[in-house]
Structure 1
Amino acid sequence: MKIDLYLESLDAALNLPIHYNYMIQSLIYDTIGDELSSFLHDFGFIEEKRSFKMFTFSRVMGKYQIMEDGQRIYFNGPVKIIISSPMVEFCNSLINQFIIQGKVRIGKNQLQVMEVRSKKVIVKENEVSFRTLSPVVAYSTLLRSDGRKYTCYFQPGESDFERLLERNLRKKYNAFYKKDAPEGEVKVRVLGQSRLAVINYKDTIIKGYSGKLQVTGPRELLQMAVDSGLGSKNSQGFGCVEIV
């Protein structure tokens, strides 16, 4: 299910640091209720020692201006955030609380909830074209010769990018539904030009790519991509996609 959250700042403008993912994630955790928030934050859905939170969210969408120092972004007028998850309880809790509270806080900004819309997007084919609403991340943690770990990020068009996206979708499906993912390869083709995004999330640099992707594979895995996100680090604000 996807939630379209429409907000308007009660101040002159929505004033955020350029790297604001953690603030949006905190808004979601603060809104869904203590029990569900604790479960997702502390445990999540486990598969092969990996924990999946099973939600993702878009960048903040609206008219904006980046300050000259490049460190802050100002949104003038209404903004929209899309939140997506396969968890019915999660989505219902967010929708209800947004409506009941009527206001939310992002960092030091207080905003009025103008409208909340929800919709279930159903994948009907084994091939879909996605537009990214937040950058897609594919990475591996490798070892240097001296034993130190480092992170290698992959870009659309590389075989490792496709391989990691498929593996991630299968693990999320297994973790959420408690059964093996359906057979069939997942293939990814880049449509147009991809754009690199470098995000600082809690002092960790994360690299992702935005653009359009044509993804072919089992319909159930494509549905998982729509609902929970494509690629890694979804609950940190990466891999939110929409069908075009």
Structure 2
Amino acid sequence: MHISLYINSHESKILKLPCSNLHFFQSLVYKLLPPDRAAFLHDQGYVIDNRPLKLFAMSWPISEKVPKLEDGLIKFDLPIRIVISTPITSTMDGIASGALMNEYMHIGSNVVFCEKVEVNYYNSVSDQIIIKTLSPISCYSQMLRSDGRKYTVYFSPFEKEFSNSIYNNLTRKYRAIYGTAEIPKGTVEIFPIGTPKERVAKFKVNDSFPMKGWSGRFKISGPKELLQVALDCGLGAKNSLGFGCIVSDGK
């Protein structure tokens, strides 16, 4: 299930933000949720193999015009659209209710409101789907240097590790949603359609290192139950930080 929040403002026709701004949108999502639901997702989440999952994915801001970079800021023409996908009804209902009940909200220093909420359903009806990204797909692994320090290796869609990482991540999400249900048999593979674009972003300005992901259109094959999890929860890692939000695209 996908929910689109159409964000506008009575005070300005422009949304002005630092270039590293994903934390503002994640903060908005948590503020829209009921306090107990927000605290659960933020502080705990659904723990599988000692690793928390939020089970929601968030798009990057979507606007009709390309945003402008001026004076060290990124400027979006309003309205913009933010998409959140999740299979968890309490999360979806909480975001929708919060968006409609609040007369105004803050995104950074911008005072905004939600003028419309739209719900869409994307269903996986076969073992192969075409998707497009609303935020980049990020797949990575933590490695150890010889001195014991960790470093991050990001995979590209042209590497087998990209598909492997996506499959392992989807099985964890499946277990978080369905508990002890048997994981559907079969692996998951992903192939770029055309030339995917590498995207680099910091979650917030003071982060030491940027996160990396890939945007574009992809063909994914595998058990349809896992493909449905991909549509509902997002693909790859860092979904709640603004990575891996996808929709089906039959073109």
Q: TM-score range by the shorter chain?
A: over 0.9
- Mean CA deviation greater in 132-141 or 204-213: 204-213
| Residue identity (%) | 37
Report matched runs for 1:24-103 at 5 Å.
Answer: 24-62=25-63, 63-68=65-70, 71-103=72-104
Q: 1: CA distance between counterparts of 2:31 and 2:165?
A: 31
Aligned residue among 213, 220, 228 for 2:225: 220
Match of 2:243 in 1: 238
* Letter paired with 1:195: K
Match of 2:7 in 1: 7
SS of 2:169's equivalent in the other structure is helix
Unmatched tracts of structure 1, length 5 or more: none
Matched, 1:124 2:125: yes
Report matched runs for 1:56-205 at 5 Å.
Answer: 56-62=57-63, 63-68=65-70, 71-179=72-180, 180-202=182-204, 203=207, 204-205=209-210
SS of 1:102's equivalent in the other structure is coil
- Following TM superposition, by how much is the alpha carbon of 1:68 offset from its aligned partner in structure 2, in angstroms? 4.2
- Following TM superposition, by how much is the alpha carbon of 1:223 offset from its aligned partner in structure 2, in angstroms? 0.6
SS of 1:201's equivalent in the other structure is coil
- Following TM superposition, by how much is the alpha carbon of 1:65 offset from its aligned partner in structure 2, in angstroms? 3.2
SS of 2:220's equivalent in the other structure is strand
Question: When the two structures are aligned, how many residues end up with a matched partner?
Answer: 243
Q: 1: CA distance between counterparts of 2:67 and 2:96?
A: 29
Q: TM-score, normalised by structure 1?
A: 0.96
**Contact 1:64 1:73 (8 Å CA) reproduced:** no
Q: 2: CA distance between counterparts of 1:52 and 1:40?
A: 8
Q: TM-score, normalised by structure 2?
A: 0.93
Q: 2: CA distance between counterparts of 1:103 and 1:177?
A: 36
* Letter paired with 1:217: G
Q: After the TM superposition, which segments of 4 or more aligned residues of structure 1 sit over 6 Å from their partners?
A: none
**Contact 2:102 2:113 (8 Å CA) reproduced:** no
**Contact 1:64 1:74 (8 Å CA) reproduced:** no
